[in-house]
A and B are shown apart, each in its own frame.
Chain A
Amino acid sequence: MLVTYGQAIGDAMKEEMRRDEAVVLFGEDVAEFGNIFGLTRGMVEEFGKQRVRNTPISETAIVGSAIGAAVTGLRPCAELMYSDFTMVAFSELFHCCGKWRYMHGPEYKLPLVIRSAMGSSFGAGAEHSNCVESLFMHAPGLIIASPSTAYDAKGLLKEAIRSDNPVLFFEHKQLYQVKEEIPDEEYTIPFGVADVKRRGTDVTIIAVGLMVRRALEAAEKLKEEGIDAEVIDPRTLAPFDKDTVFESIRKTHRVLVAEESNKTAGIGAELAALIQEEQYDELDGPVVRVAALDVPIPYNIALERFAIPDAEDIAAAVRAMFA
């Protein structure tokens, strides 16, 4: 069926709520309003106010109560409207979600999902445009999913809702309206399995979120110039599928990481370190990072565009690797 990325996410939640009574949904404006992007429309009507609840504007209480609900037998799929707001509840996410089971023992399971809309979306401003995955890659105990397609979003979200581990699920705002054909039949996607979005032999591009689309665009341009790029989407940053990435590196010997978060201490920083530690002998050159400039994402559209990598930025960085 043909669905948008946003619909795929909504469908995943609906299917899981039909399958399992323990799944509940709560967050700011998720009931009658149907979430600010319309993703949860129709859910309060189908599942009732008991299972689909508007919360007050209380991010720490959303995450904290998701933990309490999860520990006691519900499977909360909670929402933090913008991923920027994860920082309001950073302690609850970093300390509590990530460490709860470790600190209290194997009796404790945290089957909870925190969904959050991330990334730039044309003038949303510096506190509504961030990609924050790398902040949480530093936190042991979390699963971090960052899907780039409708297919991946649906399969990963269903997996997340069924998981007994706390999952941070980041959805890119610019992808919500992107349409794609996905299977009618049910499927899930396991965590820690990267997807090779494009096969290639000359360079490995590891791209996340919106950058997957831009990397694929860049790969088409590069093909015309005689460079055959492989584009890998890790899909989950924790756990990270080293095997797929390393296999690609052993073929291409060149790596570029494309991400939308600020460059310093970002996803690329971690992956560059990991790759040089474990695959140094396979590399023909340094791991290259293409990321947002180290600035707050500006409101002005031209400045915003300048701050965030586009397909040409990725293509240019690849060309430079072969210069």
Chain B
Amino acid sequence: MAYTKELSRKLYRDLLMLRLFEKRLIDLYAAGKIPGHIHSGIGEEAAFAGTLATKKEGDYFKMSHRDIGASSLLGVSLETMFAEILGKTAGNSGGRGGINHISELSRGMLGFSGTLGCDIAVAAGAGLTIQNRGGDNIVYVYFGDGTTSRGPVHEAINLAAAWKLPVLFVCENNQFAISTPVSEGVPVKNTAADRAPAYGIPGRVADGTDVFAVYEAAEELTREIRQGGGPAILECKAYRWRGHFEGDQARYRDQTEADRWIKKDCVQKMETWLLEKKMITETEIEEMRAEFEAKLDAAVIFAENSPEPAPETIYDYLYA
């Protein structure tokens, strides 16, 4: 596939933003500023940047607990995001939902269930709305390899396949369900894609450290879905660089293997490629970084200055 400079730079820009966002989260967590837990998505950014580059106006999204920075690729402001992360009034739920529930319906975001897997059928339901309404919009739903072992995931994919709903199921296979290697908990090589034939739908595996590979697979699958071909599964193979949550030292894993994966850094890879192709300069990269860091600084300051929610508002948003 030949890539334009514009698309290549956009993919890199998105990857870099996700990476810097994740790094900022780790710093904030280390500084004790985040009330809850964070689940780092460093190393898995390509699954989001690559697939979301195929989105269209009017699509729906069920995001993940990793790479939550991807919400900003959908248009959520960094100010809203950090306010929610810090549990402040200016967050989308005023700090009631927290870091994993950054969501704006106006951006097509469906919401997230902290009980992983319970929200996969939510994506199918949004697919039902699209199907009833007509048009070529689709739903993107993200989940990890660990979640594929849950029953509700089967029910959701089965329903979506039976009803030919326009849903792209994106599995970010980062090799671990918390501490358990995917090979220990799953009897097939590719936990999501290998099961696609059982639902009679397309299943593809992409190198999740290569944003072009993810983009190409997503582009092909989403084109078929948009044409009414029914759902598909895309499994992006990458590696969780850090522990399940910040604070988890990940002593259960083989450091040699981790180092091997870390060398395949999706951000670095793209940077090298762009430089080789002369689509970007070192200076431009530095400027891009500085621009993101400045935006992150401003968003964090905004969030820190946002008021704490008042106790008397505790029942707000419970009922419509």
Binding site for B on A (CB under 8 A): 24, 50-51, 53, 55-56, 58-74, 76, 91-92, 95-96, 100-110, 140-141, 143, 163-165
Contacts and interface: CB of A to CB of B under 8 A. Distances in A.
B317 A65 contact: no
B159 A102 contact: no
A65 B124 contact: yes
Contacts of B132: 24, 50-51, 74
Nearest to A109: B320
Contact of A58 (B113, B158, B317): B158
B164 to A, nearest CB: 12
Contact of A141 (B103, B124, B125, B318): B318
Chain B CB count within 10 A is highest, among A61, A102, A141, A165, for A61
Chain B CB count within 10 A is highest, among A68, A110, A141, A143, for A68
Interface in B127-159: 127-133, 139, 151-152, 155-156, 158-159
Contact of B113 (A50, A70, A95, A141): A95
Interface stretch (B22-30, B114-122, B233-241): B114-122
Contacts of A67: 111, 119, 121-122, 125
8 contacts: A62-B121, A64-B125, A68-B127, A69-B125, A103-B112, A105-B93, A105-B97, A107-B92
Nearest to A110: B320
Contacts of B159: 55-56, 58, 61, 65
Given A60-B151, A71-B110, A108 B105 contact: yes
A58 B92 CA distance: 32
B115 A91 contact: yes
A103 B111 contact: yes
A105 B92 contact: yes
B318 A68 contact: no
Contact of B317 (A55, A69, A102): A102
B interface, how many residues as a size bin?
35 or more
Nearest to B105: A107
Interface of B: 60, 62, 91-94, 96-98, 101, 103-106, 110-115, 118-133, 139, 151-152, 155-156, 158-159, 162-163, 316-320
Pick the 3 closest A-B CB pairs, nearest first: A68-B125, A64-B121, A65-B125
A74 B152 CA distance: 22
B147 to A, nearest CB: 13
A102 B96 contact: yes
Contacts of A74: 125, 128-129, 132
A144 B289 CA distance: 52
Nearest to B167: A68
A95 B113 CA distance: 8
A91 to B, nearest CB: 5
A4 to B, nearest CB: 31
Chain A CB count within 10 A is highest, among B94, B124, B129, B163, for B129
Given A65-B156, A92-B121, A101 B128 contact: no
Nearest to A95: B115
Nearest to A24: B132
Chain A CB count within 10 A is highest, among B62, B91, B105, B111, for B111
B318 A102 contact: yes
A64 B128 contact: no
B93 A102 contact: yes
A70 B320 CA distance: 13
A12 B98 CA distance: 39
B320 A65 contact: no
A164 B318 CA distance: 12
Contacts of A73: 129, 133
Given A68-B127, A72-B60, A91-B118, 13 more contacts: A60-B118, A64-B124, A68-B110, A68-B123, A71-B122, A73-B133, A76-B125, A91-B115, A96-B115, A96-B118, A102-B317, A108-B105, A109-B320
B156 A103 contact: no
Contacts of B126: 68-69, 71-72
A40 B91 CA distance: 43
Contacts of A58: 155, 158-159
Contacts of B163: 53
Given A74-B132, A109-B320, A104 B92 contact: yes
Nearest to A100: B111
Contact of B122 (A56, A96, A109): A96
